[in-house]
């Protein structure tokens, strides 16, 4: 597979596509690896994972540069992503030996307990927009609790995951326990369709999520799906002025808008809109778009040509359908941008609720603005979406902030901030944004299954108390 640079469209690397036969071999090896790995003590597994975290930090510049070149994210954000990704190995490495079951009081003369055990081979399939984060977010918890893990990165951005694979093997993870299988849809189908896989964790588009869920249903394999979003940011007139504009702008323009959590619908209380539109428009026009490796760049190109064309098409159609261009960042001279996949960060106003730009995920640096009169109307507008990944509330009225957070139909709500994510907090969506939760205790529940053990404490000859349902 050719791997392209989003900066100029040139081929920066070539990576071997994993064939379905190679996937089957990797699953066989992972089954063997699982037997070895799950027999290790949780303490030992935790130490091994923390060694991977250390190795990532030792190679953080190399990983960040690969990510910047392949993904197109500015170098400082790429470095921040690599460091956050490494933290997953420390956090789950620490958590590995803190998972315990329960001793349960039951009727009769029994010692009854539940324990958590790993599923077996976990298949992880991830998208192209934050490759190193998605790789570690799935591999670290899967391995921590004793599973083997096979990761299929997106065909567009496999480079950082391949380097991570090397670091994991050099850190001493046993053969077969973890593998990165580059490839496209056929590789993904072979992996998620293999009946020997015991859990599927997927991040990506909802259409793909449905196909994977259907394949998983055929094998009765549990799945967690983290899908897209069309998240609203609700701005009340009493929003904290000092952080609002930066918060809204980074909520939509971070990673060039290629974020599932992008706050792409900005809903503003009537009366506050004129001032906010002006300030947000000024900030948007001032965004420095350019080469991700240049120190001054705030927003890089879109990662793929397809995404660039999709974003441009959706802006064009919105304007043709009556939306007005409130502001657009200036792109540097085309001579400097060459053949890169750049799209100017854009704000659109005068949109109607039924427009594609309001209903569908763009996955690019584009936000729509609309206004509301009352709190109830704000909540209804925010919830008027098939997605349910995230939302933001901007208000200094504490009671209102909690009231609104309660009523928003979304897996995550941020109040007076946006986009903060941690391995310690549950993360996932509702509706078209998917199901299942990763992070913290939710990750323990996702990556392990419960076993119940009953032991009789009496030594009578006959068991008189067997109860069949």
Binding-site ranges for ligand NAD (CB under 6 A): 125-129, 152, 154-155, 184-185, 188-189, 192, 203-205, 208, 211-212, 226-229, 260, 361, 363, 389, 429
Which string of DSSP letters, residue by residue, matches 73-125? --HHHHHHHHHHHHHHHHHHHHHGGG---EE---SSSEEEEEEEEE-SEEEEE
Catalytic residue, chosen from 65, 156, 165, 226, is 226
Read off the tokens for 408. 């928003």
Give the residue with the Cβ less far from ligand NAD, 125 or 148. 125
d(CA 215, CA 236): 44
Q: Are 445 and 96 in contact (CB under 8 A)?
A: no
Rounded Cα distance between 5 and 309, Å, is 16
- Where do the DSSP E strands lie in 158-264? 178-180, 199-203, 223-226, 232-235
Minimum separation from the CB atom of position 403 to ligand NAD (A): 26
Q: How far is the CB of 216 from ligand NAD (least distance, A)?
A: 10
- Pick 67 or 361: Cβ nearer ligand NAD: 361
Burial 431-462 (b: 16+ CB within 10 A, else e): bbbbbbbbbbebbbbbbbbeeeeeeeeeeeee
Choice between 211 and 331, CB closer to ligand NAD:
211
DSSP class of residue 322 equals T
**What pairing do the DSSP bridges indicate for beta strands 346-349 and 324-328?**
antiparallel
Query: E strands, 213-335, where?
Result: 223-226, 232-235, 265-269, 324-328
**Residue 246 designated active-site:** no
Q: Closer CB to ligand NAD, residue 59 or residue 437? A: 437
- In the complex with ligand NAD, which residue's Cβ is closer, 212 or 347? 212
What are the distances in angstroms from CA 419 to CA 61, 215, 236, 266, 325?
24, 32, 18, 14, 25
Q: What angle do CA 454, 457, 459 make, to 5 degrees?
A: 125
Shortest reach from residue 312's CB to ligand NAD, in Å: 16
Instruction: With CA atoms as reference, report the closest residue to 161 among 169, 146, 151, 170.
Output: 151
Count how many Cα atoms sit within 13 Å of the Cα of residue 211 in the half-sphere of its side chain: 14
Q: Which is nearer to ligand NAD, 23 or 66 (CB)?
A: 23
CB of 245 to ligand NAD, least distance (A): 25
Place of tokens 């956050």: 84
Asked if 238 contacts 215 with a C-beta cutoff of 8 angstroms, the reply is no
Minimum distance of ligand NAD from residue 361's CB (angstroms): 6
Residue with CB nearest ligand NAD?
188
Task: Specify the residue, 225 or 326, whose C-beta has the smaller distance to ligand NAD.
Answer: 225
Angle at which helix 440-447 crosses helix 75-95, to 10 degrees, equals 70
CB of 193 to ligand NAD, least distance (A): 8
CB of 132 to ligand NAD, least distance (A): 13
User: In the complex with ligand NAD, which residue's Cβ is closer, 226 or 298?
Assistant: 226
Please count the CA atoms within 13 angstroms of the CA of 384 that sit on its side-chain side: 15
List strand residue ranges (DSSP E) for 271-312, in order. none
Q: Least distance (Å) from ligand NAD to the CB of residue 57? A: 24
The residues carrying an active-site annotation are 226
């Amino acid at each position: 597979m050719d791997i392209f640079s989003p900066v100029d469209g040139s081929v920066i690397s070539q990576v071997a596509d994993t064939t379905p036969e190679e996937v089957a071999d990797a699953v066989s090896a992972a089954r063997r690896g699982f037997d070895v790995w799950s027999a290790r003590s949780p303490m030992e597994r935790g130490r091994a994972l923390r060694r991977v975290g250390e190795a990532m930090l030792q190679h953080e510049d190399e990983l960040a540069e690969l990510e910047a070149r392949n993904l197109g994210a500015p170098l400082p954000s790429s470095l921040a992503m690599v460091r956050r990704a490494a933290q997953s190995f420390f956090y789950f490495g620490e958590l590995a030996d803190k998972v315990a079951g329960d001793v349960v009081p039951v009727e009769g003369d029994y010692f009854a307990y539940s324990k958590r055990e790993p599923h077996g081979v976990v298949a992880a399939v991830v998208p192209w927009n934050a490759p190193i984060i998605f790789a570690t977010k799935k591999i670290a918890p899967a391995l921590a609790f004793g599973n083997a893990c096979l990761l299929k990165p997106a065909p567009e951005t496999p480079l950082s995951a391949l380097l991570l694979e090397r670091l994991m093997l050099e850190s001493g993870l046993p053969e077969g326990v973890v593998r990165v299988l580059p490839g496209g849809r056929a590789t993904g189908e072979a992996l998620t369709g293999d009946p020997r896989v015991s859990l599927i964790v997927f991040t990506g588009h909802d259409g793909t999520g449905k196909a994977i869920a259907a394949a998983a249903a055929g094998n009765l394999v549990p799945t967690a799906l983290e899908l897209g979003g069309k998240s609203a940011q609700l701005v009340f007139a009493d929003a904290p002025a000092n952080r609002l504009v930066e918060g809204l702008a980074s909520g939509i323009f971070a990673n060039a808008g290629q974020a599932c959590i992008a706050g792409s619908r900005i809903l503003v209380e009537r009366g506050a809109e004129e001032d906010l539109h002006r300030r947000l428009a000024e900030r948007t026009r001032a965004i420095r778009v350019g080469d991700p490796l240049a120190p001054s760049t705030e927003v890089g190109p879109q990662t793929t040509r397809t995404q660039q064309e999709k974003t441009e098409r959706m802006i064009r159609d919105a304007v043709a359908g009556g939306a007005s261009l409130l502001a657009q960042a200036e792109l540097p001279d085309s001579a400097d941008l060459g053949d890169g996949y750049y799209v100017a960060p854009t704000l659109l106003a005068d949109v109607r609720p039924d427009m594609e730009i309001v209903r569908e995920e763009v996955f690019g640096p584009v936000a729509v603005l609309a206004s509301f009169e009352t709190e109830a109307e704000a909540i209804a507008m925010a919830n008027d979406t098939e997605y349910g990944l995230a939302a933001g509330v901007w208000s200094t009225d504490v009671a209102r902030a909690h009231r609104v957070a309660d009523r928003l139909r979304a897996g995550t709500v941020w109040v007076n901030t946006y986009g903060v994510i941690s391995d310690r907090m549950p993360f996932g969506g509702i509706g078209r944004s998917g199901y299942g939760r990763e992070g913290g205790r939710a990750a323990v529940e996702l990556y392990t299954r419960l076993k119940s053990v009953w032991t009789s404490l009496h030594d009578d000859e006959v068991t008189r108390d067997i109860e069949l349902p």
